[in-house]
Amino acid sequence: MSQPAIEHVPTNIITGFLGSGKTTAINHLLTHKPAHERWAVLVNEFGQVGIDGSLIEQQDGIEVKELAGGCLCCALGPSLPVTLATLLRRFRPDRLLIEPTGLGHPARIIDTLQGEQFRNVLSLQSIICLLDPGVLHQPEVLRHPSFIDQLNLADIIVLNRTDLVDTADVTEAQALSANLFPPKAAIHITTHGRLAQEWLDLDHRIQRQARYPQAHAAKPNLRPHNLAPVDKPRVAEPGKPLAQSGSQDGYYSYGWMFAAEDCFDWNAIQHALDAMTGVLRLKAVLRIGHAWVSYNRNAGEPAQINESAWRRDSRLEILTGQPLDQTELARILLNCLQP
């Protein structure tokens, strides 16, 4: 007996610039998911090996699909319809959450979700943009086209990480958000990515406009190189990690995948990661003896370290604004392995 057609699956895009707290926010939403519902999460990362999928808490009734190696809005755009169709057909979710990369422009994703192929399959609801008021002190972010259009295209803006900034920054970020046109359906203030479930259910009807629509056109300048893509049937061997790197729009990513058998000396790897300079974002999930930990650090901030349920492999991703010596970085990481 054939299954009924999939129709009008509530779908949300959770966007925001690098380090705004998207993955933490999605974890919070998943923790409060209605027990009887099945939710799917599509995670897109600029980096090559993919870390965020391992940082999303795995639970019954949740399916996580990760696309790494570029932005859904440009380099990976052609793969989005295929990935979406496969995810929907196999898992048949009651809700779909999409987390684009922090450098992504959401316009092409919106076009795909509202296009003919998915018009009756998906029901696009709230587009939520997380905004860290701390970016008010980062002029290079404030003028970045993707940052501007993430705000412009959002239905709801959530000021996140407000416990880490001054009250004046929160007030200024509120004013910035309130002055956008067309007006937002809501502007909320929160910490630690605490999104309310009811924020998801706003019907996305107002056609908000991108200021830089050309930013989501396909871009051929994403240049992954070195080893084979991680989605090919190749796995890391103990002591021989797979390495990848890529670049786009003046940003560079460097990633490594270590075999599950590889164990890191915690003192050594923590010191090595803390000492890395010029890093915009550093994310990792690592095996430390019999335990596994996640490491997450934004530029100018202390690292967040937590236990991790991930067990598949150890992986690390560095995002920077200038090229690095990947060979030297690999040497440092290998020296942190236990004998």
What's phi and psi for 185, nearest 5 deg? -65, -30
Query: 9-216 has which CATH code?
Result: 3.40.50.300
- Coil/strand/helix, residue 106: coil
What is the C-alpha to C-alpha distance for residues 160 and 275, in angstroms, rounded to an integer?
Answer: 27
Residue 129 pLDDT: 96
Nearest alpha carbon to residue 63 among 89, 82, 81, 45 = 89
Interhelix angle 266-275/326-334, rounded to 10 degrees, is 160
Residue 56 pLDDT: 65
Residue 228 pLDDT: 35
What is the C-alpha to C-alpha distance for residues 75 and 96, in angstroms, rounded to an integer?
Answer: 22
Residue 208 pLDDT: 67
Nearest alpha carbon to residue 296 among 288, 307, 304 = 304
Task: Please enumerate in sequence order all residues whose Cβ is within 8 A of that of 227, keeping only pairs 6 or more positions apart, or say none.
Answer: 234, 242, 243, 244
Q: Do 155 and 188 form a contact (C-beta atoms < 8 A)?
A: no
Residue 234 pLDDT: 65
Residue 252 pLDDT: 87
pLDDT average per 10 residues of sequence, the chain (339 residues): 84 93 93 94 72 65 79 58 90 94 81 88 95 92 87 93 95 91 89 95 70 49 36 73 84 90 96 92 90 89 86 89 91 95
Joined together, the tokens standing for residue 197 give 């479930």
What is the C-alpha to C-alpha distance for residues 330 and 145, in angstroms, rounded to an integer?
Answer: 33
- Coil/strand/helix, residue 110: helix
Residue 13 pLDDT: 95
Residue 118 pLDDT: 92
What is the C-alpha to C-alpha distance for residues 69 and 75, in angstroms, rounded to an integer?
Answer: 8
Residue 223 pLDDT: 37
Residue 226 pLDDT: 37
Fold of 238-334: Hypothetical Protein Yjia; Chain: A;domain 2 (3.30.1220)
Nearest alpha carbon to residue 235 among 328, 315, 331, 307 = 315
Residue 220 pLDDT: 36
In the block, tokens 């002591």 appear at 239
Q: Where are the domains of the chain?
A: 9-216, 238-334
Q: Is the peptide bond before 182 cis (omega within 30 degrees of 0)?
A: yes
What is the C-alpha to C-alpha distance for residues 133 and 164, in angstroms, rounded to an integer?
Answer: 9
| DSSP sequence for 112-133 | HHTSTTTTTTEEEEEEEEEE-G
On the CB side of 98, CA atoms within 13 Å amount to 30
What's phi and psi for 327, nearest 5 deg? -65, -40
Joined together, the tokens standing for residue 307 give 């236990």
Residue 88 pLDDT: 94
